Structure 1
Amino acid sequence: MLNRLLKKKGGFTLIELMIVVAIIGILAAIAIPNFIRFQAKSKQSEAKTNLKAIFTAQKAYFGEKDKYVSDFKVVGFDPEPGNRFSYSINGGCNLAQPATPAGRTYANGCIGQDEARFSKVPTTPTYPMTAKIEGECPSCDFSAVAVGNVDNDPAADTWGITSLATSTTTLLAPCGIDTPQVGGGEPGNAYNDVSC
């Protein structure tokens, strides 16, 4: 009997190994797309954080000067290097802006994405919000826009913030957004590139 036990070798059959490989493949097919979507959503936090910083800087400037301005240098907004999004408080640069070879562009009311780090500038024009200052100050309002690429396709993830209590701008691209309007002081997703 002991001799028979020693001769019998343990191991897995080919069918058992194929079942394990199939189970791992099914789990990977479910987990990888969810991980990519979660990663893209986490990249959107840059736009939300920087738009709130623009809002705070504009409100502080308005508190001193009774007006909003369309120049980031005047309000002191300067995001960290390596920004994935282009930022605008000037209607002339609502699209994603490529950066110069030295880094990002920094024009009047426009900060381009850091092309040295992120070379994929979105090309599909899905920008349902406009960055601008409207009205005569001190009875004026402003809107700022962030446009960037979070999932490496041609479409742009677009975010906005406004000083209006409730934006009168109805967002034109209903894809992936929770509400058709952007509320004052809260970043709103004008076009969600993650879910579209």
Structure 2
Amino acid sequence: MLNRLMKKKGGFTLIELMIVVAIIGILAAIAIPNFIRFQAKSKQSEAKTNLKAIFTAQKAYFGEKDKYVTDFKVVGFDPEPGNRFSYGITGTCNETVLVTGRRYGEGCIGQDQARFAKIPTGATAPLTAGVSPTPADCPNCEFSATAIGNVDNDPAADTWGITSLASSATTLTGTCGVDSTTISGGEPGNAYNDVSC
């Protein structure tokens, strides 16, 4: 009997191996789409963080000078190289301006074209970015900033906005995949959610 046990060789049958492969395939089919969605959601944090930085810089400048400006260098905002989103604090930040790089004085900072796909044609800002009314009319002036980027390499662009209007909510445009179309002052709002659309 001991001799018979020693001679028997262990191993897996082809059916057992196929069952294991099928189970791994099912788990991967469930996990990979979730992983891609969570990865894209984490990329959105760049827009939220940088819009809050623009808001803080503008508020600090306003506290000192009693006006908002449309020049990123004046307020000291400069995102890290390799930015996925394009940022604007003027209404003239269109696709042509943004793909040409960082135009601080024009209130436009384009995304890093060497690392990321170009912003899709026709992508629109969720707010009309800019400063209004003229600085002479302050302290009743306000500003709005936008962030546009592609987080999942499809034809649509993830769009965000922030405003200084604290007294009333601002309506965002293009609300695919977004529960609310309004944002309050100082909070980044997602106008077009590229992750869920």
Task: For residues 51-82 of structure 1, give each alpha carbon's deviation from its aligned partner in whole angstroms, at most 9, with x where no partner exists.
Answer: 11100111111111111111111111111111
Task: Provide the residue aligned with 1:156 in structure 2.
Answer: 157
Q: Distance between the aligned counterparts of 2:7 and 2:103, measured in 1?
A: 74
Corresponding position: 1:122 with 2:120: yes
Corresponding position: 1:68 with 2:68: yes
Q: Distance between the aligned counterparts of 1:156 and 1:171, measured in 2?
A: 15
Q: Distance between the aligned counterparts of 1:124 and 1:7, measured in 2?
A: 72
Q: How many residues align?
A: 193
Please report how far the alpha carbon of residue 5 of structure 1 lies from its aligned counterpart in structure 2 after TM superposition.
1.3
Unaligned ranges ≥5, structure 2: none
After the TM superposition, which residues 1-196 of structure 1 pair with which residues of structure 2 at under 5 Å, given as runs?
1-95=1-95, 97-100=98-101, 104-135=102-133, 136-165=137-166, 168-196=169-197
Please report how far the alpha carbon of residue 137 of structure 1 lies from its aligned counterpart in structure 2 after TM superposition.
2.2
Equivalent residue letter for 1:113: Q
Q: Distance between the aligned counterparts of 2:80 and 2:191, measured in 1?
A: 23
Unaligned ranges ≥5, structure 1: none
Kindly, what percent of the aligned residue pairs are identical? Answer: 79
Closer/same/farther in 2, CA of residues 183 and 80 from structure 1, 3 Å limit: same
Closer/same/farther in 2, CA of residues 28 and 124 from structure 1, 3 Å limit: farther
Closer/same/farther in 2, CA of residues 114 and 167 from structure 1, 3 Å limit: farther
Please report how far the alpha carbon of residue 98 of structure 1 lies from its aligned counterpart in structure 2 after TM superposition.
1.5
TM-score of the two chains, using structure 1 as the length reference? 0.90
Equivalent residue letter for 2:73: K
CA RMSD of aligned residues (A): 1.8
Assess if the C-alpha contact under 8 Å between 1:105 and 1:111 holds in 2. yes
Please report how far the alpha carbon of residue 126 of structure 1 lies from its aligned counterpart in structure 2 after TM superposition.
4.6
Equivalent residue letter for 2:165: L
Task: For residues 154-194 of structure 1, give each alpha carbon's deviation from its aligned partner in whole angstroms, at most 9, with x where no partner exists.
Answer: 21101111000155542232322232101100111111100
Task: For residues 72-105 of structure 1, give each alpha carbon's deviation from its aligned partner in whole angstroms, at most 9, with x where no partner exists.
Answer: 11111111111111000000105482245xxx45
Equivalent residue letter for 1:181: T
